[in-house]
Structure 1
Amino acid sequence: EGYPAGEMKHGPIALIDEQVPVIVVAPNDQWFDKVASNMAEVAARGGKVVLISDAEGVAKTGDTAWATVTLPDVHPFVAPILYSIPVQLLAYHIAVLKGTDVDQPRNLAKSVTVE
């Protein structure tokens, strides 16, 4: 499940243990230091942190992250588009590994009827 970083201490942190990977999407912006603090808490509880950030963000966190995906620096206007790509690819590949039919998801209903 996805949670905003600011909500981490309001419940999701209680779910963290050695079996829970945490994907952190955090460009190095004005909120990065707060997100890095959350990452440190997750790591302290044994959670595996996968950080998706730019080179400066990855460098700032040192060895807190278990794994990193380094993206290029981009204008903040296009950052949400760029940062969604690794998350979409991760979701796709996990679904394939689980044997899910990614071309025909269960409970999918057409929203437009073509006649």
Structure 2
Amino acid sequence: MTDHKIFHMPFAKVYPMYVQKAERKNRTQAEVDEVICWLTGYSQEGLQEQVAAGNDFTTFFAQAPNMNPNVALIKGVVCGVRVEDIEHPLMRNIRYMDKLIDELAKGKAMEKILRQRVLALAGSD
């Protein structure tokens, strides 16, 4: 796969767009942060440090403390491509984040965005 421009784009440049997208649909920055922290394992402080540092997406994901083990539960289409079919790991992680923000902006319940209901059902076996 070629080296996409988004890999070198500062996360801090895209983060406000995620927040704006959510806020236009009456969601909050705190919810955006919760989704991003769930996906990447960053604490709130760690997320804000990444934004302040101006790290690109490559560095942002490389330094992520712990990608959520349930990312495989994220399915669907972003930019006309099924996220579960994306082979390049960095692009797939970026699209996972896009998909979660899309779900937030569409008004989906937080427990569904964070795949908690699915986990609760799986744990009841």
Relative contact order (alpha carbons < 8 A, sep ≥ 6): 1 or 2 greater?
2
The answer to whether the superposition gives a TM-score over 0.5 is no
Higher helix share: 2
TM-score, with length taken from structure 1 = 0.30
Give the greater-gyration-radius structure (CA): 1
TM-score, with length taken from structure 2 = 0.28
Higher strand share: 1
